[in-house]
Amino acid sequence: MIRKKLSPRQKMINLMYVVLMAMLALNVSSDVLEGFSLVDEGLNRTKATSVTQNEALYKELDEAMKQNPAKTRPWYARAQKVRAMSDSLYNLAENLKWEIVREADGDDADLSNIEGRDNLEAATHVMLASAGGKGSQLKLAIEAYRNGITAMINDENQKNIIKKNLSTDVPKKAKQQGKNWQEYMFENTPVAAAVTLLTKLQTDVRHAEGEMLHQLVANIDVKDVRVNQINAYVIPNAQTVVRGGKFSAQIIMAAVDTTQRPEIYVGNTLLKSENGRYETICGSTGDFTLKGYLVMKNGNGETIRREFSQPYTVVEPSATVSATMMNMLYAGYQNPISVSVPGVPTNKISLSMTNGTLTKKDGGNYVAVPGKVGEDVTFTVTAQNEGRQQEMGKFTFHVRKLPDPTGYLQYTDPKGNATRFKGGRISKQAIVAAGGIGAAIDDGLLDISFRVLGFETLFVDNMGNVVPEVSNSASFTANQLNRIRSLTRGKLFNISRIRVVGPDGIERTLTSPVEVIIN
Q: Would you say residue 165 lies in a domain?
A: yes
**Same domain? 388 vs 415:** no
- 202 and 119 share one domain: yes
Q: What burial class does residue 465 get, using C-beta atoms within 10 Å of its C-beta: 0-12 exposed, 13-18 middle, 19+ buried?
A: exposed
Which H helix or E strand runs over 139? Answer: helix 135-150
DSSP string, 105-136: H-TT--TTS-S-TT-SSHHHHHHH-TTT-SHH
Distances (CA, A) of 25 to 95, 103, 462, 508: 30, 22, 50, 26
Q: Which of the listed residues 377, 399, 421 is the one where a domain comes to its end?
A: 399
Say yes or no: 30 and 163 in one domain.
yes
Helix pair 69-105, 30-67: axis angle to 10 deg: 160
Which amino acid, residue 37? S
Q: What are phi and psi of 491, to 5 degrees?
A: -75, 155
Residue 171 lies inside a defined structural domain of this protein: yes
Of 226, 257, 272, the last residue of a domain is 226
Torsions phi, psi of 327, nearest 5?
-85, 50
Specify whether 78 is located in the same domain as 202.
Answer: yes
Residues 266 and 155 in one domain: no
Residue that finishes a domain, picked among 226, 258, 287 = 226
> Does residue 362 share a domain with residue 237?
no
Does some domain include residue 12?
Answer: no
- From first CA to last CA, the distance across the chain in angstroms is 16
**Beta strand pairing call for 424-426 and 356-360:** unpaired
Res 516: pLDDT:
94
Contacts of 385 (CB under 8 A, 6+ apart): 242, 244, 245, 344
- Phi (first) and psi of residue 370, to 5 degrees: -65, 155
pLDDT at 175: 82
Looking at the structure, tell me whether residues 269 and 285 fall in a common domain. yes
Same domain, 419 and 504: yes
Q: Which helix (H) or strand (E) holds 159?
A: helix 156-165
In a domain, 85, yes or no: yes
Distances (CA, A) of 170 to 175, 179, 184, 342, 488: 6, 8, 7, 16, 59
What is the rounded distance in angstroms from the CA atom of residue 255 to the CA atom of residue 223?
9
Q: Is the pTM of this model over 0.85?
A: no
Looking up residue 486, the CATH number of its domain turns out to be 2.60.40
Chain centroid offset of residue 411 CA:
41
For the chain, residues with pLDDT lower than 70 are 1-37, 221-231, 233-247, 252-260, 298-302, 313, 315-326, 343, 386
What's the gap between Cα 321 and its chain centre? 9
Residue 4 in domain: no
- Please check whether residues 168 and 75 belong to one and the same domain: yes
Beta strand residue intervals within 284-437, DSSP E: 286-297, 303-315, 320-323, 329-330, 335-340, 349-353, 356-360, 365-370, 377-385, 388-397, 399-400, 406-412, 418-421, 424-426
| Domain extent at residue 277 | 230-316
